[in-house]
Chains A and B, each alone.
Chain A
Amino acid sequence: MGKQLFDEVIGTPPPSRVDVAAIVRRERHRRTALRAAGAATAVLAVVVSAGMLQQVRGPQSEAPQAQASSSVVTPHGFRLAAEDRRSAEATAATLRGVLDEAVHRVVPQATWFRQDVDGHPPADGEPPVLIGSEKTAKADQPFAGGTGIAATGRRGVLTLQVLSTRPCADPSNPKCAQENENPELEQQRRDELLLTCQPPVKDCADGTGVDGRRYLAQTVPGDGGEVTHEARLQLADRRVLTLRVSNLVAAGGGKAGVAQAGTPVSRDQLGEVAALVGARILP
């Protein structure tokens, strides 16, 4: 196998789309923003500490209601926007905060611990780092991530995925031609595949909620006592949110093994978390 063969595969490269100047500009902005965020966090820490100090000192002060929170989540809903990289990252960060909040509302004692699910492991105590992609067509952008979760003495991994069931929309892509003959039918077929119980999984329930959105909850047993609960929910923008929790834990970057018989979050709890997250996502 020679270099010439590889060069034949490569052919003549088209003009490069790699914009090094833009990358450097974006990275400089990012660094500036990180520095600013670091300064803001320090100020917030001082304010919260001062507030706590006042509380300890006595009743003459009005006790501040500040709560330590790593994520700022608006009380109303948000769109899964990902028009560009910055927007995708902002949405992923909001979704991360919403997931964290929902998990702790349903399982107050839950704690996160570091597990490398997709090459972006968060630190211990931090919720999953969710990655959004702006590279696919608008309204199709997926979001995904996961990390370790512990509750009631059990440990496992919790992952989140948002996927589109829309057929590919690029008419210049020959692979899309067949799907585009009847995109609605194709999307229905994909919805069926994701949101209807499939025969191989015995412990499964699907249906339509009072809000008209479809859901599916299933338990998939694996080898050697592995258990995975899965909750899928059709979102307002017709994408599908999937939450999974397993009883698998990887130690020291090695192969994942069963931590205990049960999962740290039950299937019903996972469904509640999915409902809370899904309720915040706007069309």
Chain B
Amino acid sequence: MTRGDDREFHEFVEARMDRWRRSAYLMCQDWHTADDLVSIAVTKVYRHWRDVRRADNPEAYAQKILTRSWLNERRRPWRREWPAERLPDRPDAVPDRVTDRESLGRLLQSLGPRQRAVLILRFYYDYSAEQTAEMLQVSVGTVKSQTARGLRTLRLSADSLRG
């Protein structure tokens, strides 16, 4: 990588750091893990910098790297949960409005990783179904069905939270 490439890489990363951290946090809902994910993605972007630069949409290419890093991390054995004899306690207070920050977070966590990624890419970042499909390496039909299912799950979870 030349010095010019290096400078360009740093500018590219700096300009998008806040956006990537927000995106990573929405996916994993833990700032520690979110920063780890962004670090992994930045490493990959650096390794494939020439491909990223040459891409039609470098922004989307980098977002794809970040999203796929998260989905891959989720598949690792140490991310799987241990079997538990006892279920975790239910929340003490049922939120009366699902727009409460915590309750929204819980709603998002009730979705599977891919569904969550689909909703974040489509509704937070306004990517089209085609772009989202390309990023997640699935078909457009899958994105559409995951979107519908994700929204339905959110609605059901919101109803149950309201009691």
Which residues of A line the B interface, CB within 8 A? Answer: 1-3, 5-6, 8-11, 13-14, 16-20, 23-24, 26-27, 118-119, 131, 133, 135-136, 142, 144, 161, 163, 190, 193
Other than A26-B43, A27-B43, A133-B78, give 10 A-B pairs with Cβ distance below 8 A: A5-B99, A6-B26, A8-B99, A9-B29, A9-B108, A10-B22, A10-B26, A20-B13, A142-B78, A144-B76
Residue pair B99, A18 in contact (C-beta under 8 Å): no
Given A9-B108, A13-B21: A118 and B75 interface contact (C-beta under 8 Å): yes
- Is B51 positioned at the interface, with any CB of A under 8 Å from its CB? no
Complex: A121 Cα to B58 Cα, angstroms: 26
Q: How many residues of B contact A (CB 8 A)?
A: 40
Residue pair B35, A17 in contact (C-beta under 8 Å): yes
- Is B18 positioned at the interface, with any CB of A under 8 Å from its CB? yes
Complex: A161 Cα to B17 Cα, angstroms: 34
CB distance from A128 to the nearest CB of B (A): 13
Interface residues of B in 2-44 (CB under 8 A from A): 6, 9-10, 13-14, 17-18, 21-22, 25-26, 29, 31-32, 35-36, 38-39, 42-43
CB distance from B26 to the nearest CB of A (A): 6
Residue pair B18, A131 in contact (C-beta under 8 Å): no
Residues of chain B within 8 A of A24, CB atoms compared: 6, 9-10, 46
- Residue interface mask B80-108, A partner, CB < 8 A = 1: 00110000000000000001010011001
CB distance from B162 to the nearest CB of A (A): 16
The main secondary structure of chain B at its interface with chain A is helix
Which residues of B line the A interface, CB within 8 A? Answer: 6, 9-10, 13-14, 17-18, 21-22, 25-26, 29, 31-32, 35-36, 38-39, 42-43, 46-47, 72, 75-78, 82-83, 99, 101, 104-105, 108, 119-120, 123-124, 151, 154
Complex: A11 Cα to B99 Cα, angstroms: 12
Complex: A8 Cα to B97 Cα, angstroms: 13
Given A1-B151, A18-B39, A161-B77: A6 and B123 interface contact (C-beta under 8 Å): yes
Residue of A10, A16, A23, A136 with most chain B CB atoms under a 10 A cut-off:
A10
Residue pair B18, A135 in contact (C-beta under 8 Å): no
Residues of chain B within 8 A of A8, CB atoms compared: 99, 101, 104
